[in-house]
Chain A
């Protein structure tokens, strides 16, 4: 797909996209930004390990077709979401069920992307798209998605679940867009799920834009659990005002080629983010987590804790950049990347990057790459545990060291299935509870 071909698709059907003329102008501007940069290539440092050719060489329809049928309750169940949760379900981009309003009432504004573009205009500022051609492409074509607005002072206890399911086997590309605005001293808990069947080999190019006002608090759990042929790229862009707190847990289970960009700007004093991720990668998968944290104000803190478990012929990438800008002080930034390789053919590329233009900065980073610890294995075996069960248990424990509470009911099973782990006979007791 050349930019010209993509523009032909856009020009032919731009009238079908929501938002009227102002948004249409923003779409054209975003497309121009994409066209100037083109698809990222491995010549760019940020894309050194990840080749997008399977997308840029493919012929994909950027206007997905609506699903013939969908069973939202079954999809939620399969994604491990409670049936009475405040959930929105999207299939191939299209919103097929909205259970959020009845659960949450009027306290929270949850509007479809279409409605929001009509009433609010473009949801993503042009500057957010700088250096992000894929996000620019999303803005140009965005048709489906949601905006969550939490008014100042409102505490939303129930987690809001957004489930995006790929169902069609057509060669198509979805451009879901999510905007989360949390007002001053408000609190919200959002879970974004991406899932899909084994025959889905299309592309999902998501954009999640987060703005936290003064003292706002957002917990975001993002779970990617596609079938083995899906391509997924996303940019999560978050901006934090004074004393805002952002807590992210991202879990990657499936997909053939996955690239997650996470960009957090701590713009005002006291802003704090805790970013964590678990990446599971087996045969034929390539998953790349690319994290950038900008410390733009004094007294801002960030923590990155990313773990990966890579099986035979799996390939993982983690790059985590911390950038401390000039004129800031009293910054604290910690980063840890721990990687477990289960086979000689497993591969991980992990790269911390620190750019520090201020004094009075407390920074730490550490990366480990290795196999299971022999002494741990021996200890468990000396107590009578079979070697395979000891390996299974330790592999699970490695992942669980990230969590204080389970972020998703499906996690243990996915790890066990994915790597064919054995566990001690009586797995009734969860190792971390």
Chain B
């Protein structure tokens, strides 16, 4: 695992403390993700997994009271949400937001071009854009009708999740944080989503998968598995830890952590 100052890290979180509405949610969380690595974060409901994801993406209202986050050597917390996206961070939301009146394809194209613009790359016209997303839509088995609908509006739970992955495939981030993208998916949709995620695996790209289920981790094999409880990582291991958690639950780890 990488440390602060590592010559080649993707993400280094050092002793992060986060307060939400006068409650301390994250309490000294540290985590390092190297280039090309896939990390899974598991943990009981309410332990702070989505809080971590939102803080990484820069959501207002989450107060970082102590700690640092470095993303590709930059101070992540100093960046606006859009600058984080431009730098290559992507968050797939646990609950994707419905935005009536904003066309799905329009959002995708505007987002892609905003990012290309920020990186000094030429913007894509409508024709080039369609070529880019056509394959991605096929991979995610999203019908073309969805492009002309309002963002996530009236989409089923599973459709929203596949739409998040479509966005990820189109934006090609350096670090993808997927917050329970597998929750609420049927078996076939889970495979589709896993295929989408795997298609993006690359030695230069890293992923953090927040999940409650070992099922996803059988399809997308993580390099590391962490347990988040009481606001920090209380245990880390390889993919076999996920199976153990699936069988034994979290109580034993929380007890060990408390007595430690």
* A interface, CB within 8 angstroms of B: 374-376, 378-387, 389, 393-394, 396-398, 400-401, 424-426, 428-433
Contact = CB atoms under 8 A, between A and B. Distances in A.
Contacts of B114: 383-386, 389, 424-425
B106 interface: yes
B58 interface: yes
Nearest to A395: B101
Given A378-B81, A382-B81, A383-B85, A401 B101 contact: yes
B57 interface: yes
A401 B97 CA distance: 17
B206 interface: no
A385 B82 contact: yes
A384 B115 contact: yes
8 contacts: A381-B81, A386-B82, A394-B102, A397-B99, A397-B100, A397-B102, A425-B123, A431-B103
Nearest to B97: A379
A425 B106 contact: no
B256 to A, nearest CB: 36
Given A381-B85, A382-B91, A387 B80 contact: yes
Nearest to B91: A382
B127 to A, nearest CB: 11
A401 B57 contact: no
B251 interface: no
Most buried by A among B85, B101, B171: B101
Given A381-B80, A387-B82, A424 B113 contact: yes
A425 B148 contact: no
Nearest to A381: B81
B216 interface: no
Interface string B84-100: 11100011010011011
B36 to A, nearest CB: 23
Nearest to B81: A381
Contacts of B105: 429
A425 B82 CA distance: 14
B138 interface: no
B80 A425 contact: no
Interface string B128-167: 0000000000000000000010010000000000000001
Given A384-B82, A384-B171, A386-B82, A431 B101 contact: yes
A376 B99 contact: yes
A381 B79 CA distance: 12
Interface in B143-202: 148, 151, 167, 171
Contacts of A379: 93, 96-97, 99, 151
B126 A385 contact: no
Nearest to A399: B101
B100 A426 contact: no
A431 B123 CA distance: 18
A432 B101 contact: yes
B101 A384 contact: no
B86 to A, nearest CB: 6
Contact of A384 (B59, B111, B126): B111
Contacts of A401: 100-101
Given A381-B82, A394-B99, A433 B126 contact: no
Contacts of B57: 378, 382
Given A382-B57, A385-B110, A433-B103, 12 more contacts: A379-B99, A381-B58, A381-B80, A383-B107, A385-B82, A393-B102, A401-B100, A429-B103, A430-B103, A432-B101, A432-B103, A433-B148
A400 B110 contact: no
Contacts of B90: 382
A431 B85 CA distance: 21
A376 B97 contact: yes
Given A376-B97, A425-B113, A429-B103, A384 B118 contact: yes
A393 B81 CA distance: 17
B55 to A, nearest CB: 12
B60 interface: yes
Nearest to A397: B101
Contact of A429 (B58, B82, B100, B126): B126
B109 interface: yes
Contacts of A378: 57-60, 81, 97
B177 to A, nearest CB: 10
B109 A375 contact: no
B123 A380 contact: no
Interface in B55-84: 57-60, 80-82, 84
Contact of B110 (A389, A394, A397): A389
